[in-house]
Amino acid sequence: MRDFSYLRAASTEEASQAAREAGAMLLAGGTTLLDLAKCGVAEPDTVIDITHLSGLGGIAVDANGAMIGALAKMGEVADDPLIKAAFPAVAESLSLAASQQLRNMATIGGNLLQRTRCTYFRDPAVFPACNKRNPGSGCSAMGGVTRNHAVLGTSEACIASNPGDLALALVAFDAVIETGSRKVAADDFFLLPGHTPEKETVLQPGEIITGISIPASAAAKNSTYLKVRDRQSYEFAAASAAVGLEFEMDGKTVRDIRVALGGVATKPWRARAVEKALIGKVLDLVAIEKATKLAMEGAVSHGDNHYKIDLAPRVIARAIMKVATSNVAPSNVGGLA
């Protein structure tokens, strides 16, 4: 590990100013920064400690929604009873991420800014070509082992999948990410790789996530997060889905549905075609199967990851059925009981 300077910022403003300098990186929970430093991807000139800054760690929930500070720990948010009640998919996405030890250290803001787990990105000594690390150098994943790579939102420059769990729930339920100077919809916060995969979010130099707001909704309250992976714990998703559902008064016609996909795309992926296909429809197995296939429109596989095109619709369908049958009398949901 290379030598670096350490700055314990006295305020958000001081941290923001210092973070504008080239080679500066923020230290919050430290789980991502330390990980990237160990594998040689992160080589900061200056580490700016913001762990102690006041006003960035709260969790507040009321009838209008939730406000979560950027320095709140993942474990704290996952275990918060009000978050569990009003936003179960948010709580579940956090409790299914990483390990308990990491959840006790990692912050919400840091979680949103975690980098891809692409093997080629995280091993610069063996794979020097990576457009995320070194723009214009190429993509070592192309033609390589791609089982964990994306099939949606890819480009010729990058096929690395976004590793987030929480981000899916935020995108699904129209959360807003706040930086102190502006507010950005979660769906707009994350960028597609295009020709500039090194730019993963809309954050500008010096911008710091200060909090996240999530509006209350019936769909958010009646929601779940389903994660399918190679092993039961401490593993990233092969495919995952955050789903929320609201019925009309008849208990079987869909008034509102939210669907976001993970593990299969280069950013947290809102499956709006699936939502559009089911709103106003009576929810049954035939309608679900037909609609969930729409999630893979435009999907492009690269060898080993072709299975995700079949897996992702099934994950969405399972999540929809889980929410529908656990919150509605089975007799009101045709074919789902």
Residue 61 domain flag: no
Question: Which of 161, 169, 162 has its CA nearest to residue 93?
Answer: 169
Boundary (domain end) residue, out of 14, 30, 49: 49
Contact predicate 66/94, CB 8 Å: no
Is residue 201 in some structural domain?
Answer: no
Residue 103 buriedness (CB in 10 A; 0-12 / 13-18 / 19+)? buried
pLDDT at 115: 96
- 318 in any annotated domain: yes
Rounded to whole angstroms, the Cα distance separating 13 from 252 reads 51
- Identify the pLDDT of residue 233: 82
Q: What token pair was written down for 106?
A: 């990692």
- pLDDT at position 329 is 44
Residue 92 is assigned to a structural domain of this protein: no
The stretches in the chain having pLDDT less than 70 are 1, 327-337
Give 254's strand partners: 247
Return the pLDDT at 337: 45
Q: What is the CATH number of the domain that holds 272?
A: 3.30.390.50
What tokens appear for 292 in the block? 């969930």
Whole-angstrom distance, CA of residue 71 vs CA of residue 93: 17
In a domain, 286, yes or no: yes
pTM, 2 dp: 0.95
Domain CATH number, residue 33:
3.30.43
The token pair that represents 142 in the structure block: 């192309």
In a domain, 85, yes or no: no
| 80 within a domain of the structure (yes/no) | no
- Domain with 262, as residue range(s), is 218-328
Rg (CA), the chain: 20
Classify residue 304: in a domain, yes or no: yes
**Number of structural domains in the chain:** 2
Question: According to the model, what pLDDT value does residue 78 have?
Answer: 98
Instruction: Check residue 160 and report its DSSP letter.
Output: P
